[in-house]
Each structure stands twice: as C-alpha cells, then as structure tokens.
Amino acid sequence: MPSAKTFTLIADHFRDRILSGELQPGEKLPTNREIAGQWQVAAATVSRALQALQVEGYIRTTPRGTFVADDPRVTLSPRDRLARVQRVKSFLAEGETSRVTAAGLVVPPLYVAELFDLDPGAQVVRREWLSGRGQSRTCFAVIWYPAHFAALVPDLLNTAPGRNAGISAKVLEATGRTITHARDDMHGRDADAREASALGIAVGSSILAGAHRWSDSEGVIEYGEWCLPPRFTIGYEYVP
C-alpha cells in the first residue's frame, strides 16, 4: 500500500476515533512502533500522520507519549452531522451537548424566504442553538425549516433540554422526506456581537462561518447557518 495513502488512512482512523468519543481527552495512543506494526508501515509514515493530527489540534505529544488533547479544538462539519443523523439519529458528536436558545415561527429575511420559495410575509421555523463539549463551546447555529413542519414535529418550537440532538431525524421521519442533495459553504470572517456573545469570544475575533442546505426534489428541508470559535478544525473525506 503506498505510504502517502497509508499516512492519510492512519490520520483518518485516529481522527474518527477521537471525534466519535472512542478515544477520550487525555487518553494515551499506542506508540509509533506499535502503530507501525499494526499498519505494517514505516515509522516515518506514522510520524507524518500524527504530526498532521497534532497540527489540527487533536493530539499532543510529550516525552511520556502521545495523548488525545485535553480539550480538542475540533467539531463536526455539516456533512459529518448529517452522517450521524442518518446513522444514529443525532447530529451531535459523542460527548457534545447542545442548548436551544430560541425557537419559534418567524417571517425570515428575504434570502431565506427565497431559499424556501415563500410568498411575502410567509413564516418559517427558526431554531437557534449552541453546542459544547466540557467547558468548550463548539458551534453556534441558526437553523430554518418550513413552517408546516412545526405541526408534524412540535419539538421544533420547543427549547427544553435534551430534545435538540434528534430534531433533524424527527423531521425526516415525520415528513417522510429523504435528503437527496446537500451543500456546504464556508468562509472566514470576524465575529459579530451576537456570535461573539454566544461563543464567549471577543467581538471581531476571527471565526469560520458557514451554511448548509439539505434538500430533496420538493425543496429545502433544512437550512442552517453556523460559526465556530477561533482555531477550531473541521474536516471531511471525499472520493476524488
């Protein structure tokens, strides 16, 4: 197996185990020699893989060995959240929690109304939530749904704890819709006052912001806008 390919597979393997919660903060990884033996590769290939994970903030290296970072500055991409919805009916990573800060029927901004192909003055469901892991805040998001979904999924208008993680799965189940198209857009910019307050950072801090759009032939099922704290990493695989 080519070393470049193996380097990527090793990095992906440990990254996925950390994101899933299988490897906990502070947990020690096998030695480079042990990993090299398990994967039947040269030690240099293992070093390259672990160096990439260290740069991304997933692990730390000390004279005593390599450990999962105590507070990994990572979170899931919309693609990974959708994969978890489809697999385990929750868009949160293992060990991640969320708190809904607002939920209601509102008349949306014009660009959101156009996404949902709404008539002037028509409403949509708007949900605002903050996720975190331990003491870290990992994502601030505003999610929009067609208004008639609220009658099918009353929890869309509910801010009670514990009902947010499975909301996307509930929407798909109740509406009978299947996401057939998904798109993510991302850009770096400065945090505004609302985002800074939610993430506990200074106004004007550099953040990664983005939007996801999940849809089918009938139209948009879920549209979300989100942002991450400074220096947080997200990533995803794709088939070239």
Cα 143 to chain centroid distance, Å, stands at: 13
Q: Confidence class of residue 2 from pLDDT cuts 50, 70 and 90?
A: very low
pLDDT 10s digits, 32-51: 999 999 999 999 999 999 99
Query: Could you give the CA distance from residue 107 to residue 129 in angstroms, rounded to a whole number?
Result: 19
Q: Confidence class of residue 238 from pLDDT cuts 50, 70 and 90?
A: confident
Where are the domains positioned within the chain?
3-68, 78-228
pLDDT 10s digits, 110-167: 999 999 999 999 999 999 999 998 778 999 999 999 999 999 999 999 999 889 999 9
Residues sharing a CB contact under 8 Å with residue 11, sequence separation 6 or more, in sequence order: 49, 50, 52, 53
For residue 103, give both structure tokens.
């939920």
Helices 3-20 and 43-56 pack at an angle, to 10 degrees, of 40
What average pLDDT score do residues 75-98 get?
90
For residue 161, give both structure tokens.
């704890």
- CATH 1.10.530.10 for domain 78-228, yes or no, is no
Between 191 and 62, the higher pLDDT residue: 191
CATH topology of domain 3-68: Arc Repressor Mutant, subunit A (1.10.10)
